[in-house]
Amino acid sequence: MTPAPTFAVVGHPNKGKSSVVATLSQNDAIAIALEPGTTRKRQAYPLTVDGRTLYTLVDTPGFQRPRRVLEWLEAHSVSASDHGETVKAFVTQHRDDGRFNDECELLTPLVEGAGIIYVVDGSVPYSAEHEAEMTILRWTGRPSLALINSIGADDYSDTWQAALGQFFQVVRKFDAVRAPFEQHLGLLRAFGQLEPDWEQPLEQATHFLSEQRKQRRKQSAVLIAGALEDMMSFREKRTLTANQAAETSDGSLAKQLRHLWYRHQRQREQSQRVAVESLYQHQHIRRQEAELEWHNEHDLFSEDSRKVWAVSKHYLATAGFGAGAVSGAGIDALTLGHSLGAGALVGGLIGAASSYLYGDRLMLPTLNIGVLKDGLKTATFGPVQDSQFGYVVLGRAVDHWWHISQRNHAGRDFLDLEPADHHWLESLDKKSRQDIQQAFDKRRKGRPLEDRQRQKFIAAIEQSMVAYDDWRLNRT
């Protein structure tokens, strides 16, 4: 079996090498800083899917004395045929020479067989000072690809493209922070064309990464569905003795349980978000969104969240009709069809009417105190009565998933969840709408979802994620 390819990411200091490594290896723990010299030792970062290493990125220090190195190489070379061996001799001879520590760290993976990814900053003008390091890299004879990674606002990529094309087999623009997933795969395919031995393993790598992306979306849908099931049915409970019940007013008890109920719902949403971030290997995200405080505009229960993520009354009515009709079909089954579909029709009409009438009201859970039994009373707050609550949670979850799925691992900016200005669920197919609404209704009533219904719920959520992704794509 052909070993997985290794790519050394090389270049001038502070030109985005570590950002490229972080994105292509899906590792957001790699240190990225503005000051030069952040990377002093080469470090390998394998990209592994299902226990299989697809390729390895090696982060390296930047060139420090390329002209001195090139002078040595030219002085010790007889002809172009010995260039590769001359580079290897330089590394062997200067490995312990502190003056050339960075160059030796950079060149070692190349003399050991790694491919070259040369990174430049396209936002600064091209200068001839880079030609020494590009010449050194050409001397290695390794398959090479140059990336123009613009860090600043200016664009000198055309002049860079012309210069780089004289030294490297492939030249591409690549924004390590914002490049879409397809560009990642494009780089792998390009390298596969440069080295025959790598063509098959890199083709397999693109396949595995594409499948991984689909699987992550599916797993995210499972996580979102699980959170929704929990949040729609959750009850905060308190057991009271007769004396405690007598000493505590209903208003005070309701306030206590409401506070705990809200806290649980916020924490459950947060745990679902962290699980999705972990699934996509984002372990070090800094959050712009506040810590879900009650008065914050981003809060789960804020009026702003409701305005953004609640669906229209018309949407609720059509989804409610379908969900109610499915429930009403049980009546038809029990009557062996003698109701002539009246159960489904009545159920659908009731579901549509209730969804329409209460679709724009904020219906909070109520306090329920049971009867005294064995000297104890049980007080419960919940489950949610708001027909829109599930859609608010779903909208926020899918929006968060989308930002995470699109985020490169080189990103170090805050995760700022900006909601959409249109409810994408309006484009969701009728069957998926009904499956979501039926699951919401069932969980609000405290009834568990059967396995088949849960799978339909998950599939409908995944369809809503696809619809959201399409909608976002059409916006740009």
Band of pLDDT at residue 244, cut at 50, 70 and 90: confident
The answer to whether residue 331 sits within a structural domain is: no
DSSP labels, 99-124:
GGHHHHHHHHHHHTT-EEEEEE-TTS
Is 187 found in the same domain as 72? Answer: yes
Rg (CA), the chain: 30
Give the range among 270-279, 311-320, 417-426 with minimum mean pLDDT: 417-426
Is 407 found in the same domain as 299? Answer: yes
Residue 379 DSSP symbol: E
Domain encompassing residue 152: 6-194
| pLDDT, tens only, 323-377 | 554 455 444 444 455 544 544 444 444 444 444 444 455 556 878 887 767 778 8
The answer to whether residue 329 sits within a structural domain is: no
Q: What is the mean pLDDT of residues 443-467?
A: 95
The pLDDT of residue 415? 75
The pLDDT of residue 141? 96
| pLDDT, tens only, 34-90 | 555 555 689 999 999 888 999 999 999 999 999 999 999 999 999 999 999 999 999
Band of pLDDT at residue 1, cut at 50, 70 and 90: low
Is 268 found in the same domain as 134? Answer: no
Is 257 found in the same domain as 184? Answer: no
The pLDDT of residue 325? 46
C-alpha 196/C-alpha 2 separation (Å) is 11
The pLDDT of residue 345? 47
Residue 269: is it exposed, middle or buried by C-beta count within 10 angstroms (0-12/13-18/19+)? buried
Is 262 found in the same domain as 179? Answer: no
| pLDDT, tens only, 21-30 | 999 999 988 8
The answer to whether residue 37 sits within a structural domain is: yes
Q: What is the mean pLDDT of residues 229-252?
A: 86
The pLDDT of residue 291? 43
Is 237 found in the same domain as 378? Answer: yes
The answer to whether residue 430 sits within a structural domain is: yes
CB-based contacts of 123: which residues, under 8 Å, 6+ apart? Answer: 150, 151, 152, 153, 154, 155, 156
Is 398 found in the same domain as 276? Answer: yes
Strand partners, 115: 7
Is 225 found in the same domain as 153? Answer: no
The dihedral sign for the CA sequence 268, 273, 279, 283: negative
CA 61 vs. chain centroid, Å, equals 29
Contact 304, 332 (CB under 8 A): no
C-alpha 66/C-alpha 17 separation (Å) is 17
CB-based contacts of 158: which residues, under 8 Å, 6+ apart? Answer: none
Q: How far is CA 405 from CA 180, 188, 278, 311, in A?
A: 10, 20, 11, 24
Is 250 found in the same domain as 114? Answer: no
The answer to whether residue 326 sits within a structural domain is: no
The dihedral sign for the CA sequence 249, 250, 255, 258: positive
The answer to whether residue 418 sits within a structural domain is: yes
Report residue 111 as tokens: 């003399």
Report residue 116 as tokens: 């070259």
The pLDDT of residue 292? 41
Is 46 found in the same domain as 166? Answer: yes
Pairwise pLDDT comparison (353 vs 20), residue with the higher score: 20
The pLDDT of residue 320? 64
Count of structural domains within the chain: 2
Average pLDDT, the chain: 85
Strand partners, 49: 52
The answer to whether residue 350 sits within a structural domain is: no
Is 392 found in the same domain as 261? Answer: yes
The pLDDT of residue 362? 52
| pLDDT, tens only, 111-163 | 999 999 999 999 999 988 899 999 999 999 999 999 999 888 899 999 999 99
| pLDDT, tens only, 411-447 | 877 776 766 555 678 889 999 999 999 999 999 988 9
The answer to whether residue 246 sits within a structural domain is: yes
C-alpha 425/C-alpha 432 separation (Å) is 10
Q: What is the mean pLDDT of residues 213-240?
A: 95
The pLDDT of residue 347? 45
Contact 222, 458 (CB under 8 A): yes
